[in-house]
Amino acid sequence: MPPPGFSMFRGINMANQKVKDYKDKIFRATTFFAAMMVLAVIVGIFLSLAHQSLPAIQKFGFFRFISTPTWDPVHEVFGAASSLYGTIVTTVLAMAIAIPVSIGIAIFITEMCPGFLKGAMGTAIELLAAIPSIIYGMWGLFTLAPIMGDTVEPFLQHTIGKVPYLGSLFSGTPLGIDILTASTILSIMIIPFIASIARDTFNLTPQVLRESAYAIGATRWEVIRNVVMPYSKSGIFGGIVIAMGRALGETMAVAFVLGNKHQIARSLLDASSTITVTLANEFTEADSDMYMASLFYLALILFAMSFLTLAAAKFILKERAKS
Amino acid sequence: MKLKNIFLSLLFIAISLTLVAGDTINGAGATFPYPVYSAWAFNYHGETGVKLNYQSIGSGGGVRQIKNRTVDFGASDAPVKPADLKAANLLQFPAIIGGVVPVVNVEGLTGGQLKLTPDALAKIFLGEISTWNDPRLLAINKGLHLPEGNITVVHRSDGSGTTAIYTTYLSTVSRDWEKKVGKGKSVNWPAGIGGKGNEGVANYVKRVKNAIGYVEFAYAKQNNLTYVKLQNKNGQFVDPSFEAFKDAAAGAKWNPDEGYYLWLVDAPGDGSWPIAGASFILLGIEKPAANKKVVKFYDWAFNNGDATAEKLIYVPLPKSLKDSIRSYWKRNGIY
């Protein structure tokens, strides 16, 4: 016969075990629920966008919708080409400005910056990311646009504007409300994303590698070019993708300085429109059903674009990690 | 202990909210009259204890909300057509008037110096008249020095009731405009750049030399913008002023049987300013109890709100129109 105390302890242990199992189950269910919520929300958004845009999809089809530049609410002729064009051009231009600048910032902070400035510079860049986009918009309208319109753009017209072919990019009256100003603001907004991620990945380069390179007589440029950069390629790429997602979807900052004009502008000094700008400007006062459906259709296209961009980036990163 | 406190205060908030809710009028819609409605609501609450909760979500949203009956009243800067009113079982009446004023930035000119005919205004916005020293403009403004240089047209980039009033006016006075562009809260502009909101348009007009744009009367007045003198239906050149808007409203043919459906543009009368519009209130016919509350508020505002409105640079309805609206309410059994 076992001592009486033994089975008693065992009972308590079993009860404890049961409670533990129970807690575990609840915990698992909760986290599972939380994770599924994300999926449910994404699928839900997609379905409701598709449902709401159905009338426009039926009326305009896909290829006709994305190839028509006209946006005429009065006569109910809607096409996404002008908004799509604006979205792509502002994003590409913003990336072209932001990527070199951000990588320069990251290199300076990690490789050359005197110690006492390092912290301050890093924080300043991260603070840039914390500024709400509406403030960028107001600043853009009241401060940057006049500077661009009065100084920068006339200067560009007098210099690059004189070059054949390239010059047509800077034709027209410089007003400061145009693709160039919008892209400049966008680039300032996305610089912190690329710069801080690039800085972190640069810092991940093992000190041993760097010092070995210096030891065999490499210059600072050679170390950065041949050791640090290859080591951090995929990290930088990730930062660029995040920044691109942000640029594609940015609304308030560009809404103020892009002019919401539905045209395929040849010059960077022309007003244009992006998908988000069109939505922000026109959603509240869209009165006809077809108008509303076309706006939803635009939103659906943006949703698909962002999704595909991220998916492609994930895929590329995965492939790279494999090789 | 802490949890109990939180719970109690939540309960308290919930109870006080339901108590308040009994005396709240819920409305949603147009952004343009929002400042004057909330000023009226503040005074009304002080006198009667009834609260008005007005959400300025835009005219389109206001019409949708009242159609779905999620609010007690909807507000719209564009009148809803009589047929649509019938289909959605709605009542409609105007509550306040606002005007739209073309403003310019031409070197050497101050407010009221530049005269424009309706035809010239339409041609400028169509891009057909593209310089200030165009002979057609010089003919109207004899003796005024007008500079050369291209005119930059500035319009609203966001959908708005202001644009609806302005393009309705241009469509009324110019067949060309009606054919090529048409009227609406946002249109396919043939010329110019877009600014977001009144402040966006005003900002561009101030900054861009030789620009012309259009803003709400209140906005032009508060910011001392250079307005133009417009020729009205009777051939007179008028300045935008309270009197000019009131004349326009008094001279118009309001028809209660059509839910006061009317665009207050190109109104007759020697002193009438030709570009104006009323902001409308929409009620669901089958909800008399809620409608009575709304009507009581607007009746109070018609009696006591004129000074408040003028201080905010809105144009109160003329007396004849107020009387007509009161009998419209009476006929529908909500007054």
Q: How does pLDDT run along chain A (323 residues), one tens digit per residue?
A: 555 555 555 566 667 777 778 888 999 999 999 999 999 999 999 999 999 999 999 999 999 999 999 898 888 899 999 999 999 999 999 999 999 999 999 999 988 888 888 888 888 888 888 899 899 988 998 899 889 988 999 899 888 888 888 888 888 878 888 899 999 999 999 999 999 899 988 988 888 988 999 999 999 889 988 888 888 888 888 889 889 988 998 888 888 888 788 888 888 888 888 999 999 888 877 878 899 999 999 999 999 998 888 888 888 888 877 76
The per-residue pLDDT for A128 is 86
Beta-carbon separation of A286 and B60 below 8 A: yes
Is the CB of B193 less than 8 angstroms away from the CB of A141?
A: no
Backbone dihedral angles phi then psi of residue B287, each to the nearest 5 degrees: -120, 70
Residue B158 has its nearest CB partner, among A74, A75, A281, at A281
Whether B279 and B165 have beta carbons less than 8 Å apart is answered as no
Report the C-alpha gap between B303 and A245 in whole angstroms.
55
Determine the Cα–Cα distance for residues B273 and B117; give it in Å rounded to an integer.
Answer: 12
Task: Tell me the mean pLDDT in the region B288-292.
Answer: 91
Q: Given this model, what pLDDT does residue B56 score?
A: 85
Indicate if the pLDDT at residue B120 is higher than 80. yes
Kindly determine whether residue B60 and residue A285, on different chains, have CB atoms separated by under 8 Å. yes
Phi-psi label, residue A202: left if phi above 0, alpha if psi -120 to 50, beta otherwise: alpha
Do A259 and B194 lie within an 8 Å CB cutoff?
Answer: yes
Task: Decide if A185 contacts A144 (C-beta within 8 A).
Answer: yes
- CA nearest neighbour of B214 among B89, B321, B116: B116
- pLDDT grade, residue B9 (50/70/90)? low
Q: List the beta strands (DSSP E) in chain A.
A: 71-72, 77-78
Distance (Å, whole) CA A232 – CA A107? 12
* Range name among A165-169, B118-122, B317-321 with the lowest pLDDT average: A165-169
Query: Which residues on B lie below 8 Å from A287 (Cβ)?
Result: 59-60, 63, 78, 185
Which residues of chain B are within 8 Å of residue A149 when distances are taken between CB atoms?
Answer: 207
Q: Is the pLDDT of residue B316 over 80?
A: yes
d(CA A118, CA A189): 21
ipTM: 0.72
| Separation between Cα atoms, residue A78 and residue A72, nearest integer Å | 6
Q: Chain A contact for B186, CB < 8 A?
A: yes
Per-residue pLDDT band for B15 (boundaries 50, 70, 90) equals low
pLDDT in tens, B70-108: 999 999 988 999 999 999 999 999 999 988 999 999 988
Q: What is the pLDDT of residue B140?
A: 92
Whose tokens are 């986009």? That residue is A133
Q: For residue A69, which of A287, A308, A266 has the smallest C-alpha distance?
A: A266
With 0-12 CB in 10 A as exposed, 13-18 as middle and 19+ as buried, what is B134?
middle
- Distance set, CA B7 to CA B3, B15, B19, B246 (Å): 6, 12, 18, 55
Q: What are the residue ranges of helices labelled H in A108-206?
A: 115-130, 133-139, 145-147, 153-158, 179-204
By Cβ distance, the residue of A256, A271, A284 closest to B57 is A284
Half-sphere exposure (CA, 13 Å, Cβ side) for A140? 31
Nearest to A286 among B150, B159, B195 (CB): B159
**A72 — contact with chain B (CB < 8 Å)?**
yes
Provide, for chain B, the percentages of residues in helix, strand and coil under a 3-state DSSP scheme, each rounded to the nearest 5.
45, 20, 35
What percentage of chain B exceeds 90 in pLDDT?
58
Phi-psi region for residue B184, left (φ > 0), alpha (ψ -120 to 50) or beta?
left
Nearest CB to B59; choose among A74, A142, A285: A285
Closest CB to A74: pick one of B31, B157, B188. Answer: B188
Token pair of A134 as six digits? 């509406």
Residue B158 pLDDT level (bands cut at 50, 70, 90): confident
The pLDDT score that the predictor gives to residue A43 is 94
Structural fold of domain A58-322: MetI-like fold (1.10.3720)
Write out the two tokens for A183: 């892209």
pLDDT of residue B251: 83
3-state secondary structure of A159: coil
What's the pTM? 0.79
Q: Is B251 on the interface with A (CB under 8 A)?
A: no
What residue spans of A62-144 are helical by DSSP H?
62-67, 81-107, 115-130, 133-139
Q: What is the pLDDT of residue B61?
A: 83
Say whether residue A285 is in contact with chain B using an 8 A CB cutoff: yes
Average pLDDT over residues B145-163: 88
Q: Is B207 on the interface with A (CB under 8 A)?
A: yes
Chain B CB contacts of A177 below 8 Å: 193, 195, 204
pLDDT digits over B218-275, tens only? Answer: 888 888 889 999 999 999 999 999 889 988 988 888 999 999 999 999 999 899 999 9
Query: In A, which residues are within 8 Å of B197 by CB distance?
Result: none
Calculate how close chain B gets to A174, using CA atoms only, in Å.
Answer: 10
Residue with tokens 């609806």: B164
DSSP state of A171: -
State whether residue B68 is helix, strand or coil.
coil
Residue B188: list chain A partners with CB under 8 A.
70-75, 262
